[in-house]
Structures are given as structure tokens and as C-alpha cells.
Structure 1
Amino acid sequence: MDLFGSSTFKTLERGLAGAQVRQNAISQNIANVDTPNYKAKQVSFKHTLNDAMNHSALKANRTNDHHYEFSRAKNSVAIETNRSTMYNHNGNNVDIDLEMAELAKNQIYYNALIDRLNGRFTSLQTVIRGGN
């Protein structure tokens, strides 16, 4: 029996990993707010979703012909650099207000994932204790 290999744990793990990548990019942007010619970085997961939606016939190895066809999507993250704008006279394009808002949004997302993960562990703990 694989307690931690369930799809819920794997999904939460991928979500936490994505939040960490986004946190790193936002932190770099905030740390370089006054660095001349620094260009803000942005984490994008949207292209992965679009790729998955554009492929109508997703294929995978099936152990039985009666199983649904599906695909194991790659969890690719794109870190993009925004070179199209310039907010400061020194060539820097970090918008500190936007970055602080994104930081707060990412923190809320991360906390929600942690709360859900804690709920899963609490459920396992209840089962192990025999319902007490």
C-alpha cells in the first residue's frame, strides 16, 4: 500500500514545487528593484495547459483496452523575462507594487496547499490511531 503515492499527494507536491519556483522569481525581482537594466522575470504554467488542451487525442500506455486514454503531462515551467517595458530611468522594469501583490497571492496559494496537505496527514493520523 502506497500512502504517499496517491494522486492527491503528487498534485499537492507539484503545486508546492510550482509555488516555490514562482516565489524565487518574485524574490529575485524584488531584490533587483534598483539594479540598472534588470528585467523582471515571470513564471508561466499557462503554456503547459494550452499544450494539453490543444492535443485532442492524448495517448498513454494502457494496461486494459477498457481504460480511458490519457496522458501524463510534463510539468514544465517557463521562466520568462519581460523585456518590453521600462518603468525606471535606469532600464529596470520591476514594478514593486505588482511584485508585492504577486508575492501575497503566491503566499496565499502556498498556504492553501499546505493546509490541504496537513488535512491529508491528519486524516492518515486518525486512521493510524484507529479513529480516536
Structure 2
Amino acid sequence: MISVVDNNLTALLSLALDAAQMRQQAIAQNIANVNTPGYRRVSVSFEQRIAQLTRNGTGSAAQMPPDLSYYRPKIEYATGVEGPVQLDQELADMSETVLHHQALLKALNKQLELIGLAINEGRR
């Protein structure tokens, strides 16, 4: 039997939403400290670890490992060699993150809509 509900996809979407939220907070922190001397830029690592799923041969949600804790988004601090925070770059990153967050919400809503259809036997 084919399952309409893909728990791995839902878990991955949830992690991606967490990463987008953390990234928005990190960018806001960077913008707030743009003129703070010695401030180290904050970023979120997520996509790099998710890309490892593809490199490891688990490119689809169905092949993902059951424990996704390694792939959770993490805050990272700049080493200091990047230079000061660039306000225009942070604002561009924020715009990109907002669009990414909206796309993720649409994907999750579609997944939840499928679940709702399955529960209601195809009736809306």
C-alpha cells in the first residue's frame, strides 16, 4: 500500500523551517550589531549537512536515516577573517530567507492537506 503521508518529508520540512527561523534570528542579530566593534557574524549551518544526505546516496526522503538529529540546524560564529558585517548583504540574506520560509510553509501545507484528504476519504 502506498502511503500518502511521508513522515520523513514532514520531518525534513520541519527541520528546514527550524533552520529558516534560526537564520532569521541570526540575521537580525547581525543587523543589530552591524556597528559593534569586534562583533563576530552569526550564521546557521543546515544546507551543508542536508547535502550530505545526497552525497551519501540517500537523496530521497524515503531513504533518509531514521535519526535526523545530526541534520538539525546549528548556529555558527564567524572566525573573524570574514571582516565586519555588511548591512546590504544581511538585508539580501533576510529577503532570501523570508522567501525560502514561505516556500517551505507552502510545501508543508500541501503535505498537511494530503493528510487531511486521507482522513476525510478524499472529501474536503
Question: TM-score scaled by structure 2?
Answer: 0.71
CA contact under 8 A between 1:42 and 1:81: conserved in structure 2?
yes
Report the secondary structure of 2:85's partner residue: coil
The answer on 1:25 being equivalent to 2:26 is yes
Q: 2: CA distance between counterparts of 1:5 and 1:70? A: 11
The answer on 1:100 being equivalent to 2:97 is no
Range 33-42 or range 69-78, more displaced = 69-78
Compare the two structures and name the one with the higher helix fraction. 2
Structure 1 gap segments, 5+ residues each: 59-68, 87-92
CA contact under 8 A between 1:41 and 1:82: conserved in structure 2?
no
Q: 1: CA distance between counterparts of 2:99 and 2:24? A: 12
Q: 2: CA distance between counterparts of 1:10 and 1:49? A: 12
The answer on 1:80 being equivalent to 2:71 is no
User: What is the number of equivalent residue pairs in this alignment?
Assistant: 112
CA contact under 8 A between 1:42 and 1:82: conserved in structure 2?
no
The answer on 1:113 being equivalent to 2:104 is yes
| 1:1-132 mapped onto 2 (5 Å cutoff) | 6-45=7-46, 47-49=48-50, 53=55, 71=65, 72=67, 74-76=70-72, 77-86=74-83, 93-130=84-121, 131-132=123-124
> Higher RCO, 1 or 2 (CA under 8 Å, sep at least 6)?
2
User: What's the RMSD between the two structures over aligned residues?
Assistant: 3.0
CA contact under 8 A between 1:22 and 1:106: conserved in structure 2?
yes
Q: 1: CA distance between counterparts of 2:25 and 2:6? A: 27
Structure 2 gap segments, 5+ residues each: none
Report the secondary structure of 2:43's partner residue: strand
